[in-house]
Amino acid sequence: MRSPINTHHTAKALPAHGRRIVLAGNPNVGKSVFFNALTGLYVDVSNYPGTTIEISRAPYGDDTLMDTPGVYGVSSFNDEERIARDIILEADLVINVVSSLSLERDLFLTQQLLDMGKRVVVALNQIDEARANGLAIDAERLSEHLGVPVIPTIATKGEGIDRIRGAVLKAFEATPPRLDPDLERLVDRLEAGTAAERLMLLEGDETIAERLGLPPGTEREALYALRRTRVNAMVAEIVQESNQGATFSTKLGRMMLHPVAGLAAAAAILAALYYFVGDLIAQQLVAITEETIMLGHYEPFVRGLVERVFAEGSHMHTILVGEFGLLTMTVTYILGLLLPLAIGFYFFLAVLEDSGYLPRLAVLVDRGLGKMGLNGRAVIPLIIGFGCVTMATITTRLLGTQRERTIATAILGLTIPCSAQVGVILGMLATVGGWQAWAIYGGTMFAVLVAVGTILDKVVPGKSSALLIDLPPMRFPNWKNVFKKTGVKSWQFLTEASPLFMLGALIVTLLQISGGLEVIQRALAPATVSLLHLPPQAATAFIMGLIRRDFGAAGLTSLPLSPDQVIVSLVVITLFVPCIATVTVLFKERGWREALTLWLGSWVIAFAVGGALAAVLM
């Protein structure tokens, strides 16, 4: 059988013939904390092919433990569910993590796993939070109902982890649980595939139907209704509620959705982001990493080394340590300027993700995004876009319709600056005039975003889907999770951006040596000098921006610009064409016609808006 995961680069750390133990559960129930607690140092995090969804795998004794994306059930409503379904279908045992606070929701998946005939161990997690909220849960009775072990756990404190290990060992020795007799009769009528695949077929899963070569079943709603009734009856019996009132986190979560207090909180979070990335990192930290370390110590050192071999003025000297040198400018920009900014942004994003705030933000902005033909969920790719537009473009898959994907992709490609670029922008704006500069830049970008969204909503045919999301409880972020996520994302940034930067720097240096740079600068002068009122050298930044926008933005930092010129050039470089990596993904995800329209449209919109702004300001 074809393995759904591509692990050729790390497979040696994982046992080849062991059993597959899979962690499954609803979103935000603490699965990743379990994963960390159950495994050691050898963790392989790889992107599921064609998605941005990361799957962690690690050895577990002689077996392999795999994490899955959080899902509410095994089916195929979106990418996450399709991936979870495929991993669960091949599981020899499932550790099903359920939240004690939302058993009615979580046990639906549990019951479905049992209906698939899987060996299951249930971790009744967050039992402390349930107690704090006045819930008493009879784990033994639940275990009798389900016919599988149910272990109360507090994963964040490591409580119950050893009992889970023991239960897993025992569950492998025991016979797998019997299916419900009625369901067994239904499933046994079919003759293809495993019991689990037959259930998926009955529930109308089209991918499984195709794999088995049979028409998808029509039993889904009836089976779901039966499962729901069964779970509700179970929960009614095992959960006792004594009303102790809401805890702080419940109250905090509700406050975030208050029409006034919620908006104030969102504004405060934005301000915190500005202070953290735009001031603390872009100003104070970068002053040390870029100026002192890279420009002060690293560059003179590497220049000295190169000059022992290549004389100053030689082509190799220019390529390696010249104005756009591979070893000087490129390394300084990547390590001294962009990496600290990327780390800072990914850290902030990980905190927001881990705290359960993002779905609440989706609720707050649903109405506004509705006017642009999107629903509140689109705020998630838009925010991820501030980290990396390429990743965000793939993430638009979580949106319900092609129409929404087209609109969100266009907004991302045009108006959303990515992490390192945001840092450069915040830094440059801060040096030229504080909040006024910020207001002009931010106002312009916002106006373009709204205009593009509103026009596309009128032009793109079809109907967008409505918001329908479950809101996880707000909680204090788990620092181990946050650091792990930040580390993985920053490493990806480094490995993906560096080769492109090298390529960009090399092209620009070759143009400089051959005299092509001056030709281009002169050719673009009507646009840069006459239209935008910028110095001719700004064209170099735009050429660098063709490769990556953050590279282009970084190129602007070295130009002598007046405050108005800074604002205009930043608006143009933000609206400018997306980076090479994004364009590649654009072509793959949206087709050549949409991708090309967006790419050419970016040129027009960037220079038109920049020109208009220059006319007003200068």
Q: Which residues bind another protein (CB under 8 A)?
A: 72-73, 77, 101-102, 104-105, 108-109, 133, 220-221, 224-225, 228, 232, 241, 250, 253-254, 257-259, 359, 362-364, 366-367, 370, 375-376, 466-471, 473
Structure tokens at 482: 């946050």
| Nearest CB to another protein, comparing residues 115 and 290 | 115
Nearer to another protein, 11 or 239 (CB): 239
State in angstroms the smallest separation of the CB of 4 from another protein.
23
Q: How far is the CB of 70 from another protein (least distance, A)?
A: 12
Cα dihedral across residues 497, 499, 503, 505: positive or negative: positive
The closest of 494, 610, 616 to 542, measured between CA atoms, is 610
3-state class of 415 per DSSP?
helix
Residue nearer to another protein on the CB measure, 101 or 124: 101
376 versus 387: smaller Cβ distance to another protein: 376
CB 227, CB 103: distance < 8 Å: no
Sign of CA dihedral 439, 441, 447, 450: negative
CB of 367 to another protein, least distance (A): 4
DSSP string for residues in 68-105: ----SSSS-SSHHHHHHHHHHHT-SEEEEEEEGGGHHH
How far apart CA 209 and CA 198 sit, in angstroms, is 9
Q: What is residue 20's three-state secondary structure?
A: strand
Longest dimension (CA), the chain: 84
Compute how many other C-beta atoms are within 10 angstroms of the C-beta atom of residue 266: 16
* Residue 159 or 219 with smaller CB distance to another protein: 219
- 3-state SS, one letter per residue, for 179-235: CCHHHHHHHHCCCCCCHHHHHHHHCCCHHHHHHHCCCCCCCHHHHHHHHHHHHHHHH
Q: Which is nearer to another protein, 13 or 225 (CB)?
A: 225
Q: How many CB atoms lie within 10 A of CB 82?
A: 20
**Taking the complex as a whole, how short is the minimal distance between the CB of residue 147 and another protein, in angstroms?**
21
Task: Work out how close the CB of 222 gets to another protein at its nearest, in angstroms, rounded to a whole number.
Answer: 11
The nearest distance, CB 405 to another protein, in angstroms, is: 17
Nearer to another protein (CB atom), residue 112 or residue 406: 112
Of residues 87 and 364, the one with the C-beta less far from another protein: 364
- In whole angstroms, how close is the CB of 150 to another protein at the nearest point? 19
Nearest distance from C-beta of residue 408 to another protein, angstroms: 16
The conformation of residue 176, written as its DSSP 8-state character, comes to P
Distance CA 32, CA 76 (A): 22
Nearer to another protein, 450 or 469 (CB): 469
Q: How many CB atoms lie within 10 A of CB 297?
A: 10
In the complex, the smallest distance separating the C-beta of residue 257 from another protein, rounded to whole angstroms, is 5
